[in-house]
A and B are shown apart, each in its own frame.
Chain A
Amino acid sequence: MADALPRPVPRRRLLVSGLLLGAGTAGAVDEIVFHQLLHWHHFYDRASGAAGLVSDGLLHAATFSAAVAGLALLADARRRGPFPAVLWWGAVLTGAGAFQLWDGLGNHKLLRLHQVRYGVDLTGYDVAWVLPGAALLLAGVALLVRSRSRPAPRP
């Protein structure tokens, strides 16, 4: 390859950027919509005990830190030349879907840290939380697979 041509951005950096931003954004949306706006979850529900306190605090710090880092890596990838948008969007959707599935199945059901909502039948809420997560994850993986067969655009 001639040195004069800008080479494509390293795949790994774009993957990391997209996954961080996707998971971070999904976490922030969860926090802002359900905790702050709807008040479905509580700051602390007095039921989930020490594990819930620690996991919620950790998750909160991890998600917003991941989103900031993902944005910085995205900015860096953009200035490096041709930008494989399919790969990056695939990583974003994969990150968001993985977070939502893990939150819906792991946090809510396996660890029972907190529920989507209290005092109502949960089945509908759980389905409405887990299914879009799975859809996001599938769409993300599909885009990632497609980005392999379609090389980055030339400038």
Chain B
Amino acid sequence: MTALLALLVAAGAGYVATTWRCRSPWPLARTTAWVAGLAAAAVAVAGPGAAHADLHAHMAAHLLLGMVAPVLLVLAAPVTLALRALPPPAARRLSRVLRSAPARWATDPLVAVPVNAAGLWLLYGTGLHTAVAHRPALATLVWLHLLVSGYLAAAAVLAVDPAPHRRPVAVRALALAGGAAAHDVLAKVLYAYPPAGTAGAEEGARLMYDGGTVVTLVTAALLWRRWYVSREAVRAAAQPA
């Protein structure tokens, strides 16, 4: 947990330092989103929800770390910031890495969202979540996985940072809906068949369902809003085919 907190602080310091080096003024809203995202993750990891025994408290932490924090971090556009602030040779290297096959795979909504959902099912559907509760090292890995796979899924769906071969908006919206469906079904399964040895399973499952719905609704609204103001959509609306 301490390692994870140190990582979050370093990520915050690194981002803020990079905005100072950025060649053009960097929007304050994006810096705010980054800091808020890291704060949400820190509260999830260090707050009362980090105690695994009670599913209700745990779910609040899970929602913050796996859904709220990733969306805020994606809105902060860290890759755009890096591309603008790095010296040109390093920026070129970074964009080469982003164009590589593994990076393209990892940020494809048809891969990132199912991977994120599969991780959740593995964690809560198989009892892995209770097994890691008493092993701090494993628990840290699980937290990190939730944050990273949540970030990749949100990045793939919202597509704030530049990405080669971006999927059309309908595909990204469908991927988001599919991920939400997997989340909803898992919440219902947890409610119907609570894992052995967990308290607060019913309240936890309901919180997972309702909270997941709210975050997904906000994400869908952001996704369609970004499409509405995108250059292609505005141009298409001005001259209908």
Contacts and interface: CB of A to CB of B under 8 A. Distances in A.
Interface in A61-110: 61-62, 64-65, 68-69, 71-72, 75-76, 79-81
Interface residues of B, number: 32
B15 interface: no
Contact of B220 (A7, A9, A68, A76): A68
B240 A7 contact: yes
A75 B174 CA distance: 19
Main secondary structure of the interface of B (DSSP, over half): helix
**Which of B170, B181, B183 has the largest number of chain A CB atoms within 10 A?**
B181
Contacts of A37: none
A53 interface: yes
Given A57-B187, A80-B240, A75 B221 contact: no
Given A65-B220, A72-B225, 5 more contacts: A43-B209, A44-B188, A57-B185, A64-B213, A64-B216
Given A9-B240, A10-B240, A43-B206, A57 B224 contact: no
Interface in B184-232: 184-189, 191-192, 206, 209, 213, 216-217, 220-221, 224-225, 227-228
A67 to B, nearest CB: 9
B221 A57 contact: no
Nearest to B206: A43
Interface residues of A, number: 26
**Which of B170, B174, B178, B237 has the largest number of chain A CB atoms within 10 A?**
B237
B228 A61 contact: no
Contacts of A64: 180, 213, 216-217, 220
A33 to B, nearest CB: 16
Nearest to A77: B237
A58 B184 contact: yes
A61 B221 contact: no
Contact of A43 (B173, B191, B241): B191
A116 to B, nearest CB: 19
Contacts of B227: 72
A56 interface: yes
B237 A79 contact: yes
Interface in A23-67: 43-44, 46, 53-54, 56-58, 60-62, 64-65
**Which of B188, B217, B227 has the largest number of chain A CB atoms within 10 A?**
B188
B224 A61 contact: no
